[in-house]
Amino acid sequence: MRKKINIAIDGYSSCGKSTVAKAVAKALNYFYVDSGAMYRAITLFALQNNCFKKDNVFDQEALVRVLDHVIVSFKYNTESGEQEIYLNGQNVEKEIRSIQVSNHVSAVSAVKEVRQKLVRLQKRLAESKGVVMDGRDIGTVVMPDAELKLFMMADHAVRAKRRYDELKSNGLDVSLEEIEKNIASRDAIDTTREIDPLRQAEDAVVVDNSALTLEEQFQFVVGQAVKRIDGMD
Ligand code: DC
């Protein structure tokens, strides 16, 4: 049987990481893990459980106190053919994409205890190989031994437009301006936070996809993966 590798895809928000990751996982018959969805699920929990007080003041301790009772998991949807995220047994795939969650997720994902919990879970998911995981710290912290690491980037305007189109097609009411602001502030927090900030792994292959079609990105990543897999035989 062909050996399996792990593929880590990191990069800024709205760079199209998940679209490529999903397509590559499908083509290789690998397990796709959307690590951002896990941070989003905990953010949704924090919002639902009053961890954000008046004027958006974040009560971190309140979240940390109940963190052991927050269960984040994935389940395969046979109809869509995709992994979907569950928060304490409830499918929250749609709720976690709201602008409200997007506006609070960077604060939640900067909390040490949240990262420890999710990194532990992500490492476990990657143990048996054959995983494509995307996020911010996958090549540096979660899967430092991944056989293939990619660092994706794209122009700011391209990213905002992509996220806008995605949310609109999901029926969410948002403005381009709102999204641009959200992307800029998330970039700032994600790259400057103290614990596991977004950074490029030394051995990552950089992919600037501003001018690439989805098919071109897909072909490139699958090509890189096949090279690594063949190199293991
Ligand atoms: O990939 P995304 O935009 O859905 O991720 C949502 C947020 O989660 C992002 O702003 C930063 C955080 N995140 C993180 O800190 N570490 C990861 N591995 C993945 C996401």
pTM of this prediction? 0.92
Residue 99: what pLDDT? Answer: 87
- Say if ligand 1 is within 6 A of residue 6 CB: no
* Structural domain includes residue 233: no
Q: 104 lies in a domain?
A: yes
Of 105, 113, 199, the residue with max ligand 1 atoms within 8 A of its CB, to mutate for a pocket test, comes to 105
Per-residue pLDDT, 172? 84
Structure tokens of 168? 């609109």
Q: In the prediction, which pLDDT does 95 show?
A: 96
CATH of the domain at 117: 3.40.50.300
135 CB near ligand 1 (under 6 Å): yes
What's the CA-to-centroid distance between 73 and ligand 1, angstroms?
Answer: 16
- Whole-number Å distance, alpha carbon 184 to ligand 1 midpoint, is 14
* Cα 120 from Cα 112, distance rounded (Å): 12
The pLDDT value given to residue 69 = 94
Task: Give which of 184, 42, 55 is closest to 115, Cα–Cα.
Answer: 42
**Domain carrying residue 108:** 6-228
Confidence class of residue 226 from pLDDT cuts 50, 70 and 90? Answer: very high
Average pLDDT over the chain, rounded to whole? 94
Question: How would residue 233 be classed by pLDDT, with cut points 50, 70 and 90?
Answer: low
* Stretch 45-56: mean pLDDT: 94
Strands 90-91 and 131-135 turn out to be unpaired
If pLDDT is split at 50, 70 and 90, which confidence band does 13 have?
confident
Which has the closest alpha carbon to 42: 117, 140, 131? Answer: 117
Strands of 148-153's sheet in order across: 31-34, 131-135, 6-11, 148-153, 205-208
pLDDT over threshold 90, residue 55: no
Number of domains in the chain: 1
Q: Residue 53 C-alpha to ligand 1 middle, in angstroms?
A: 22
Cβ-proximal residues to 20 (8 Å cutoff; 6+ apart), any chain: 9, 152, 209, 214, 217, 218, 221
Ligand 1 pocket test, candidate residues 14, 20, 39, most atoms within 8 A of CB: 39
Work out the average pLDDT over 42-64: 95
**pLDDT digits 0-9 by tens, 39-50:** 999 999 999 999
Q: Which of 67-76, 168-177, 186-195 has the highest mean pLDDT?
A: 67-76
Per-residue confidence (pLDDT) for residue 90, from 0 to 100: 97
Is residue 102 in a domain?
yes
144 in any annotated domain: yes
What would the mean pLDDT of 202-230 be, rounded to a whole number?
Answer: 95
Residue nearest (by alpha carbon) to ligand 1 atom 10: 106
Instruction: Tell whether ligand 1 has an atom less than 6 A from the beta carbon of residue 109.
Output: yes
pLDDT single digits (tens) 82-92 = 899 999 999 99
Closest ligand 1 atom to residue 193 Cα is: 15
State which of 93, 104, 109, 133 you would mutate to test the pocket of ligand 1, scoring each by most atoms of that ligand within 8 A of its C-beta: 109
Determine if ligand 1 sits within 6 Å of the CB of residue 11: no
Q: Is residue 1 one of the residues assigned to a domain?
A: no
CB atoms within 10 A of CB 207: 22
Residue 213 lies in a domain: yes
Q: Report if residue 167 sits inside a domain.
A: yes
CA distances from 81 to 26, 49, 172, 173 (A): 9, 31, 23, 26
Give the pLDDT of residue 232: 81
Ligand 1 nearest atom to the CA of residue 96, by list position: 4
- Answer yes or no: is pLDDT of 114 > 70: yes
Average pLDDT over residues 153-172: 90
Q: Give the least confident one: 92-96, 99-103, 138-142.
A: 99-103
Share of the chain above pLDDT 70, in %: 100
| pLDDT of amino acid 63 | 98
- The pLDDT tens digits of the residues spanning 151-161 come to 999 999 999 99
